[in-house]
Amino acid sequence: MKSPTLGQKAMETSSRAAEKVKYFIDQVDARIHEYDHEIQEIVKRYKEKYHREVEDLKQHIEETKKGVKVRQEGSLQHIKDSYQRMKTEAQSLSELHLEPVKRKIIEIKADSISYSDEVGRKLQDAKLELQELFEKTRLAVKNFKDTDKNFMVKPAHTSNEKYYHSKTLSQLTFEEAINRITRELKNEGFGILTEIDIKATLKEKLEVDFYNYRILGACNPQYAYKALQVEDKIGTMLPCNVIVQEKHKGTVEISAVDPVASMQAIENQFLVDIAKEIRDKLIRAVDNVGPISE
């Protein structure tokens, strides 16, 4: 099993740091929401109680006014004093019950500041950790380049080299050649995914006569899986094409693509190594079909 790369470690560290930050922020939001709801309930409850007491007091005053004469100043003064006393008591009672609310608000503000400071410290620590990891990655890449100047994949072949391997046979018919190469490819682990009859296609689409020409799309699942793990766009070059053509009656040519030549534009040594193994298998399959004609 491959060990995580430095880049993957950086992503994992960043992800863990982001999860911690999200956790702290969610905690702060939950605490604030909880205290806000509690404060609203307390204020609502004491406002209702205060209003009820004031209404009761007003009603008492009105009833008192109805029961005394206007000229009885002493009684009126007594009512005024009672009203003032009850008002003072009501205000004191309201302040007494609102004091815990004020303390709650102060505590929430203090907790929020504390959480914010802690989140800030966590973010700063994560940032420093990521910077350190990126610096190590940069140095590792630099050291790799310095120690291996030829780490970039070179073209696997020059323009003078063939991009295929072929063989001409004179002892097989066209259909026999297709059957033989299909069997030899199977011996090398290849299956035929596609089969294109060029002669029939050109006749149908263009109304032209063409000689026997068949394209077989060969695929080795094991090597295809390896290649796709290294480079996901490699599917644009799959499957490996093998052609069987009969230019002249009694002479059949079998050709297989050279996957190493196809990989020259991809700077990846792992793919080149895989392509070399596939090329060897395709060459064996072609060479095992039959003898080369004189």
CA distance 208 to 78: 123
Choose the final residue of a domain: 116, 147, 178: 147
**Consecutive H or E run containing 23:** helix 6-67
Summarize pLDDT for 38-71 with one digit per residue, the tens. 878 887 887 888 788 878 888 887 876 776 565 5
Domain for residue 152, yes or no? no
Helix (H, G, I), strand (E, B) or coil at 290: coil
Domain for residue 12, yes or no? yes
Whether residue 170 sits in one domain with residue 143: no
Q: Per the structure block, which two tokens stand in for 67? A: 């029961």
Whether residue 135 sits in one domain with residue 27: yes
Burial classification of residue 218, based on how many CB atoms lie within 10 Å of its CB (0-12 exposed, 13-18 middle, 19 or more buried): buried
What pLDDT is stored for residue 265 in this prediction?
76
Summarize pLDDT for 213-231 with one digit per residue, the tens. 999 999 999 999 999 998 8
Whether residue 141 sits in one domain with residue 33: yes
Domain total of the chain: 2
Whether residue 198 sits in one domain with residue 99: no
Task: List the Cα angle 182/185/188 in 5-degree steps.
Answer: 155
Q: CATH number, domain at 239?
A: 3.30.310.70
Domain for residue 158, yes or no? no
Note the pTM of the prediction, 2 decimals: 0.46
What pLDDT is stored for residue 193 in this prediction?
95
